[in-house]
Structure formats: C-alpha cells, structure tokens
A = this chain, B = another copy of it.
Amino acid sequence: MVQKFINSPDRITQEVLEGLVAAYPAQVALADENIVVRATPKSQDKVAIVTLGGSGHEPALSGFVGEGMLDCSVVGDIFAAPGAQRLFKALQLFKRDAGILLVVLNHSGDVMSANMAVQLAERAGIKVKILLTHDDISAGLDAPNDDRRGLAGCVPLYKVVGAAAEEGKTLDEILEIGSRFNEQIATIAVASRSCTHPQTGDVIAELPDGEIEIGMGQHGEGGGGRQKFTNADDVTSQMLDLLLRKLHPQASDKVALYINGVGATTHMELSIVFRKAAQILAEQGITIVDSRIAEILTVQEQAGFQMILVKVDDDHIDLLKKSSNAPYWTVIGK
C-alpha cells in the first residue's frame, strides 16, 4: 500500500482547496466551504458556468476555474457529490439575469444533487439550465445516454462553454453550442493498475498484474474489456477504433484529441499513446485542431489513461482557441 502525503483523512478536501488557492491566487479563490470561484469575477451581465463533483480527482474539477472557463466548482468529499445544499448556495452566489449553465457529469450522486439544487434555485427565481455530460462509451456504442458516465470530456466542454459565456452569448446560445459539442465527445478509459481510496486505504478495483481493463470508470467501475497487456500501439488502436466507431468522423472532419493520465502512468507513456492515435487519424485524413497530453482528471495513483476524441465544428474550434487563465488549462488566446 502506498503511503500518501496527507494529514487527517477528514481534512483532505479542505486542505487540497486551500493549497490550490494559495498556489494560484490570481486565478482562483474560495467563496465558501468547498466552493471555488474565479479570483476576478466575470461581469454580472454574462452567463455563469458552474460545475460540481467529488474531490480526489485533482486537478479536476476546481483546477479549471478561471477567466474563459469555469466561474465556479462546487466540491464534494473524496469521490462524493457535494450535496444539493452546497450547490444551491453556489447557485445563489451566481444568481443573475443572464442565467447560469450548470455542467453535470453523469454520476448518480452528482445528478441527484444537481436536480434537487436546481429545483430549489428555480423556486428562488434563479435562472439555471443543466448540461449533462455522458462521454464514456464503455457501456456500448448504442447505449442510451443515461447509461453513459461522465468522464474527462467535461474539461474541453468547460473550455467551450466558458469561452462562449465570456463573449457574452446568451444562455440559450451557450446551451446550443455546448450541447452540440457534448454530443460529439467520446471517451474511453483504460486501467493497468488500480489505486487506493485516500480515506480508507481500500483498493478500489482488483486488476491482476499484466492485465489491463479497457472501459474502467474513474471510481473502479467495471468496463468489461479486461485483457492481457500487449503494447502501447495495440491498446491505442483498440481504443481509438471504439471512439471512431462511435463518432464516425469523415476524412475532411476536424477533431480534438486529448490524452488524460489518471495518475501513475507517466507523461512518457501518454506521449507514446498520443503519437499512435495521431498517426491513425492522419492516415484517415482527419485533422487534429486541438490537443493536449496531461493529467486533467485523475483517479489517485491508478495507472492508465482516458482517450478523449471530439468531432468539432468551426465555432467550437474558435472557442477552444480563446484565452483561459484556469490553472490547469491555460490558453494564450488568438
């Protein structure tokens, strides 16, 4: 069992957020307990972008708060939804005529918190609409959206809707742009070693040495694709093939490709994986217009990665290229 650099298991979430705002004071601040906001608020006449989710996945989700991206991240305890009351408090903070877009990852606790908080908010006269992400394709290419979990594909979505809000677009316009992007994101994960829960020390999923599991979710949920490890190119090809069969981009299409390391897998390996995926896309005449190799949404010290492919329209490309000062998705705008 790996020894983690923590103090008390009960204080992890609070201490993580204190560290984040201490390191990035020009970008982020704490508005209330476990509510992370921009250091410099966006003007009131623009739509606010809010999200929610458990901690333990750092730098997600709070590391994407910043100008041009999220206005607010509402944080739960390790792998746990923040609860409707805290989220309602955040929605009250961002009440405005322009409205709030609430981006929710499809996990039951988050969805329940979001639905309850939105009910409370609507009664309080707060204008808010939900955009639910469900980018995981491990449940099957034809699985209904309800059965598909939200993985790290939420992060480029934050970028797109955040930039649209910064430009002053209306809530309906942002919802249309974001929904179109959301329906064109496909993500598949692979795990090669499991991890421990930082509060209990429990191993969150068993995975024999030398085996990998394609489709494992970010809390150890089964994905069905357990197999012997072969090599990076073979695993990459299998994963990209699934994404291509979901999105079926054509030769002239433009895509964004992101490789998200979930913990112990090295940048070295992630780069080798990106290379193979980029080669396959190039062979098919598909152009990559935005890309990143990074740990954006992690699963403790789990080894593995998520491959995120998005078929992008021209307006999405423009929005991906706009400025963001979020600590973990900094973009020098064009």
Residues in chain A within 8 A of chain B (CB atoms):
1-7, 12, 15-20, 22-24, 55-56, 58-59, 63, 192-193, 198, 209-210, 212, 229, 231-233, 235-236, 257, 259, 263-275, 278-279, 288, 291-293, 295, 298, 300-301, 303, 305, 323, 325, 330-332
Contact = CB atoms under 8 A, between A and B. Distances in A.
A275 B55 CA distance: 16
Nearest to A13: B268
Contact of A268 (B16, B192, B288, B330): B16
Nearest to A296: B267
A62 to B, nearest CB: 10
Top 6 A-B pairs, shortest CB-CB distance: A19-B271, A19-B275, A58-B267, A5-B269, A22-B278, A264-B264
- Copies of the polypeptide in the assembly: 2
Residue in A3, A58, A300, A301 whose Cβ sees the most chain B Cβ within 10 Å: A3
Given A4-B266, A231-B6, A275-B22, A303 B305 contact: no
Contact of A19 (B210, B274, B303, B330): B274
Contacts of A1: 209
21 contacts: A2-B193, A3-B192, A3-B209, A4-B269, A5-B192, A5-B235, A6-B272, A16-B272, A17-B271, A19-B274, A19-B293, A22-B291, A23-B257, A23-B271, A23-B293, A55-B268, A263-B264, A264-B264, A267-B298, A295-B295, A332-B332
A278 B23 contact: yes
B273 A19 contact: yes
Contacts of A301: 264-266, 303
The A interface, classified by DSSP as helix, strand, loop or mixed, is mixed
Contacts of A269: 4-6
A259 B20 CA distance: 11
A138 to B, nearest CB: 18
B20 A293 contact: yes
A219 B32 CA distance: 42
Contacts of A22: 274-275, 278-279, 288, 291
Nearest to A6: B232
Contacts of A295: 267, 295
Contacts of A331: 330
B193 A19 contact: no
Nearest to A305: B5
A5 B273 contact: yes
Contact of A291 (B24, B212, B279, B288): B24
Contacts of A298: 266-268
A317 to B, nearest CB: 13
B15 A275 contact: yes
A272 B303 contact: no
A259 B5 CA distance: 13
A25 to B, nearest CB: 8
Contacts of A2: 192-193, 264, 303
